Amino acid sequence: MKPYLLVLMLLFYPPGIALGQSTSSVEDAVHLAADSVRDSLLTCLEDAGQNSLELAGAVIHAQSERRGDVVWLIMNMEHLDRLEMTEEALLEHALYADSARRAFNYGIPQDMFRDYILAYRISTEPATAYRRVLFEYFAPRVSRSTTPADAAKVINNWISKNMKVISRGVLGPTQSPVLTFTSRSGTEEEVSILVIAILKSIGIPSRPARLRLLASEPGGSSWVEVYSLGGWHPLYPFRPDRFGDISFLEEKHRQNVTNVTSLSGFGTINITSRYTETGHLRLRFFDRGRAVSNFKHASVSVWNDGALRPLDHVDWRDVDEGGGGVVCELGEGTYVVTAGIRDHTGSPFIMMREVKVCPQETTLLDLDVSPRFFVEPADARAPAEGGRIPVFTLPDLRGETFSVSDFFSSYSTVIVLFNQHYEPSARMVSLLNTAFMQDTIPGPMLVGISQGESDMSQLEPFVQDLNLRFPVLVDKESLLSREFGVDEPFHLPVVLLIDERGVIRLLVKGYDPSACEAIERKLRPSGEDGG
């Protein structure tokens, strides 16, 4: 390593830097950030709770030319990272990422720096510092390499000679890269994480690549991709002889490469077409002859180690024309599409179809998802679809009273009865709130009615934390729950769609994530599966 750089680094990052000093404050940090990101940064720092002082400290104490990088990391990191990350670790990531890039001068494009060098997160490892330890050990070992690929090969050789793959039991989180390095052992995933951490630490853009499920073979495969001289090159941690060999994966798993994903910054991307010929699979769903959008109860699977396993990381995109449906890209091969519809007992009727995906072609599969059953008989005592909602007058959180007719609307009204202490209610309220904020269900009003809660200090934080954008009424005695035959708060939620006269058009009891799509179907104009 060039000696002057070591001096530079020590100047910029003196040991024993005082951390978490009381001079750091969220306001100071936000003030130092660029105008365009101040609001977002403030939201992210609030998400960190009291750890915001650590993150704010990193913004304040960062050198000005690196402050934007520190802010970018804070804004993109996940919630748990915001709670765990220390000022020291964050500053180290920013400093060493930048210093390594300058020290080795590989000519990495600026737009690759943040996503593939600065972004510290690789998989599910804890949010810790690792660059200094790895840089100090590996930088001298790659100092003669002239390209990132050459340096990566040196690392590849070191890994294959020095690391041991072990299996783990069920307890314990993923190991940090430094622990994997010092112990010279880890699971296959932990070794891949270490490889990427090393590469990032010496200024080489890198990302994980993962083939979660092979078709007709057990398990999957994970490796690394390295950016060098304008392109991405695969690195297989224990096969340095096959560095850069794109065909290695297909050679090992002939026609069984299904779906390969990677990470760009903090988000997932699909890179299947780099490793195999791909085609597309399009699914369309019909209910009694009419096209159904937003049908969620289907997936594409492969046979793997004794079982059919859904490919959950496939990137499905909506298709607007030609009957709609969804489409995804897959490696050439044979798949099984599964779809199911549940009856009132929760028992599913399942359809399975084998499909072949051919290179450069789109395989189209139409599925009839009409119900093969009928709705359970309604409880004669309780309001049902077609009947009227019970009349009520209830206060909101400020004590102002409303009657049910205040919410009748020509655009219909969705009412959700919930108790925030129970997960099904919390999930349903969150789903509906999101659907309305994103305008997935355009038109109707949304009203929440809390059941059984008399302590506003419990209800108000729930409303604020979920950023609920609809009126919330308070039914302390759970009168409405009893009207609907729901005797226990943990049997909530109840979701109702009522028209402008208070007639119930849809009634869903209990947690059902498909309630939103059911509401959307009901709201479509008659003749388009509405009614």
Q: Is 421 exposed, middle or buried (0-12, 13-18, 19+ CB in 10 A)?
A: middle
Q: Crossing angle of helices 87-104/131-138, nearest 10°? A: 30
Distance CA 355, CA 366 (A): 11
For residue 299, the minimal CB distance to another protein (Å) is 4
Nearer to another protein, 104 or 130 (CB): 130
Residue span binding another protein (CB under 8 A) among the ranges 10-18, 78-86, 111-119, 438-446:
78-86
String of contacts with another protein for each residue 183-222, x by CB under 8 A: x-x------------------------------xxx----
Interface residues for another protein in 79-98 (CB under 8 A)? 79-80, 83-84, 86, 89
Q: CB-based contacts of 110: which residues, under 8 Å, 6+ apart?
A: none
- Residue 148's nearest CA partner among 200, 192, 208, 210 is 200
| Minimum distance of another protein from residue 57's CB (angstroms) | 12
- In the shown chain, the binding pattern of residues 228 to 267 toward another protein, with x for contact by CB under 8 A and - for none, equals ----------------------------------------
Q: Which of 35, 65, 354, 400 binds another protein (CB under 8 A)?
A: 354
| Among 51, 221, 262, 450, contact with another protein (rule: CB under 8 A) | 51
- Phi, psi (rounded to 5 degrees) for 520: -60, -40
List of residues 6+ apart from 515 with CB closer than 8 A: 428, 431, 432, 495, 508
User: What is the rounded CA–CA span in Å between residue 222 and residue 234?
Assistant: 10
For the bound state, the minimum distance from the C-beta of residue 367 to another protein, rounded and expressed in Å, comes to 11
**CB 226, min distance to another protein, A:** 25
Tokens 């302590």 belong to 455
Among candidate residues 410, 463, 414, 456, the one with its CA nearest the CA of residue 436: 414
Question: Quick one: tokens of 211?
Answer: 């083939």
Closest C-alpha among 59, 66, 62, 58 to residue 87: 58
Q: Which is nearer to another protein, 182 or 403 (CB)?
A: 182
For residues 134 and 178, the answer to whether their CB atoms sit within 8 Å is: yes
Inter-CA distances, 138 with 101, 144, 158, 195, Å: 14, 12, 10, 11
Q: Is 464 in the site for another protein (CB under 8 A)?
A: no
Indicate the helix (H) or strand (E) that contains 349: strand 348-357
Interacting span for another protein (CB under 8 A) from 36-44, 196-204, 342-350, 439-447: 342-350
Residue from 3, 15, 16, 173 binding another protein (CB under 8 A) = 173
451 scored as a contact of another protein (CB under 8 A): no
Q: Round to whole Å and give the CA distance between 210 and 213.
A: 9
Give helix 52-61 / helix 38-47 axis angle, nearest 10°. 140
- Starting at the earlier edge strand, list the strands of the sheet with 260-264: 231-235, 221-228, 206-211, 260-264, 267-270
CB of 373 to another protein, least distance (A): 9
- Residue 150 CB, shortest distance to another protein, in Å, is 29
**Nearer CB in complex with another protein: 277/368:** 368
Task: Tell me how far apart the alpha carbons of residues 131 and 199 are, in angstroms, rounded to a whole number.
Answer: 9
Pick the binder of another protein from 24, 145, 174, 450 (CB under 8 A). Answer: 174
Among 39, 46, 78, 241, binds another protein (CB under 8 A): 78
> Which of 339, 357, 480, 508 lies at the binding interface for another protein (CB under 8 A)?
339
156 binds another protein (CB under 8 A): no
Strand pairing partners for 309?
Answer: 302
Q: Which two tokens stand for residue 148?
A: 């990132």
User: Applying CB under 8 A, does 377 fall inside the site for another protein?
Assistant: no
Contact region for another protein (CB under 8 A) — 8-16, 93-101, 346-354, 409-417?
A: 346-354
Residue 351 touches another protein, criterion: CB under 8 A: yes
**Site for another protein contains 46 (CB under 8 A):** no
- C-beta of 38 vs 342, nearer to another protein: 342
* Position among 221, 420, 478, 481 found at the interface with another protein (CB under 8 A): 420
The helix or strand, by DSSP H or E, that contains position 337, with its residue range, turns out to be strand 333-342
Q: How far is the CB of 129 from another protein (least distance, A)?
A: 7
Where is 482: in which H helix or E strand?
helix 479-483
- Which of the residues 471 through 500 are near another protein (CB under 8 A)? 488-491
Say what angle helices 52-61 and 64-76 make with each other, to 10 degrees. 150
Candidate segments 147-155, 162-170, 393-401, 520-528, binder of another protein by CB under 8 A: 162-170
Interface region with another protein, contact rule CB under 8 A, candidates 32-40, 140-148, 293-301, 387-395: 293-301
Q: Which of 397, 426, 445, 518 binds another protein (CB under 8 A)?
A: 426
Residue closer to another protein by CB (options 361, 488) is 488
3-state secondary structure of 10: helix
What is the C-alpha end-to-end distance of the chain, expressed in Å? 72
CA gap 298, 310 in Å, rounded: 9
Decide if residue 303 touches another protein (CB under 8 A).
yes
Site for another protein in 304-323 (CB under 8 A): 305-310
Q: Check residue 124 for interaction with another protein (CB under 8 A).
A: yes
The count of chain residues that interact with another protein, using the rule CB under 8 A, is 85
Stretch in the footprint of another protein (CB under 8 A) among 58-66, 139-147, 241-249, 341-349:
341-349
